[in-house]
Chain A
Amino acid sequence: MKTVKAIHQPGEWYKSRFDAFERSLNGDSKTALHELRREAIGRFQETGFPTNRNEEWKFTNVSPIAQIGFEPVLRYAGEGVTLEQFDPLALPGAHRLVFVNGFFSKPLSSTSALPEGIQCGSLASAVRSSHEGVGKYLGKLVKFDETPFVLLNTAFLLDGAFLFIPDNIVLEEPIQFLFLATGDAPALITPRNLVVIGNRSQATIVESYGFTQSRQYLTNVVTEMYLGEGAVVEHDKLQHESTSAYHVAMMQVNLSGHSTLTSNSIALGGSIARNNITTILDGEGIECTLNGLSLGTGSQLIDNHTTIDHAKPHCESHQLYKAILDGSSRGVFNGKIFVRQDAQKTDAKQTNKTLLLSDDATMDTKPQLEIFADDVKCTHGATIGQLDAEQIFYLRSRGIDESKARDILTFAFASDVVRRVHHEALRDRLEILVHERLSGGRAIGD
Chain B
Amino acid sequence: MLEIRDLHARIGTTEILNGITLSVNAGEVHAIMGPNGSGKSTLAQVLAGRDTYEVTNGSVLYNGKDLLDMDPEERAREGLFLAFQYPVEIPGVSNTYFLKSALNAIRKHRGLDDLDAVEFLQLVKEKMRLVQLDETLLSRPVNEGFSGGEKKRNEIFHMAVLEPKLAILDETDSGLDIDALRIVADGVNKLRRKDNAVIVVTHYQRLLNYIVPDFVHVMVDGHIAKSGGKELALTLEERGYDWLKEDVEPMSVHA
Contacts and interface: CB of A to CB of B under 8 A. Distances in A.
Contact of A399 (B52, B84, B97, B102): B102
A402 interface: yes
Contact of A404 (B91, B101, B103, B109): B101
Contact of A394 (B77, B81, B90, B99): B90
Contact of B98 (A398, A411, A415, A446): A398
Interface string A435-446: 000000000011
Given A404-B101, A408-B101, A397 B48 contact: yes
A399 B105 contact: yes
- Interface of A, helix, strand, loop or mixed by DSSP: helix
A60 B103 CA distance: 46
Interface centre among B51, B82, B93 (most CB of A within 10 A): B93
B5 to A, nearest CB: 23
Contact of B158 (A398, A401, A415, A445): A398
Interface in A402-418: 402, 404-405, 408-409, 411-413, 415-416
Interface centre among B87, B102, B141 (most CB of A within 10 A): B102
Interface in B129-164: 141, 158, 162
B50 A400 contact: no
A408 B52 CA distance: 22
Interface string A131-151: 000000000000000000000
B88 A390 contact: yes
Interface string B21-54: 0000000000000000000000000001111100
A76 interface: no
A390 B92 CA distance: 15
A130 to B, nearest CB: 50
Contacts of B207: none
Contact of B93 (A390, A399, A409): A409
A399 B73 contact: yes
B91 A393 contact: no
B92 A412 contact: yes
Given A393-B50, A412-B93, A401 B73 contact: yes
A396 B73 contact: yes
Contacts of B99: 398
A162 B31 CA distance: 72
Interface residues on chain A, size class: 20 to 34
A404 B50 CA distance: 17
B71 interface: yes
A408 B100 CA distance: 13
A291 B98 CA distance: 26
A18 to B, nearest CB: 49
B170 to A, nearest CB: 11
A400 B50 CA distance: 14
A416 B92 contact: yes
B128 interface: no
B233 interface: no
Nearest to A405: B73
Contact of A445 (B48, B49, B84, B97): B97
A400 B162 CA distance: 12
Interface string B63-75: 0000000011101
A400 B97 contact: no
A395 interface: yes
A398 B162 contact: yes
**Residue among B48, B72, B98 having the largest count of chain A Cβ atoms under 10 Å:** B72
B92 A396 contact: no
A391 interface: yes
Contacts of B211: none
Most buried by B among A395, A397, A402, A409: A397
A401 B73 CA distance: 6
Contacts of A399: 73, 76-77, 102-103, 105-106, 109, 162
A397 B50 CA distance: 9
A408 B76 contact: no
B101 A413 contact: no
Interface string A381-396: 0000000011101111
Contacts of A395: 90, 98, 101-102
B246 to A, nearest CB: 36
A399 B158 CA distance: 12
Contacts of B98: 395, 398, 400, 408
A324 to B, nearest CB: 12
Nearest to A419: B92
Interface in A239-279: none
Contacts of A416: 91-92
Contact of A397 (B82, B97, B103): B82
Contacts of B158: 398
B105 A412 contact: no
Contact of A398 (B76, B91, B109, B141): B76
Per CB-CB distance, the 9 closest pairs between chain A and chain B, nearest first, are A412-B92, A399-B76, A398-B102, A394-B88, A396-B72, A399-B105, A399-B106, A396-B73, A399-B102
Given A391-B88, A408-B101, 8 more contacts: A395-B102, A396-B76, A397-B49, A398-B99, A399-B73, A399-B106, A399-B109, A408-B97
Interface of A: 389-391, 393-402, 404-405, 408-409, 411-413, 415-416, 445-446
Interface of B: 48-52, 71-73, 75-77, 81-82, 84, 87-88, 90-93, 97-103, 105-106, 109, 141, 158, 162
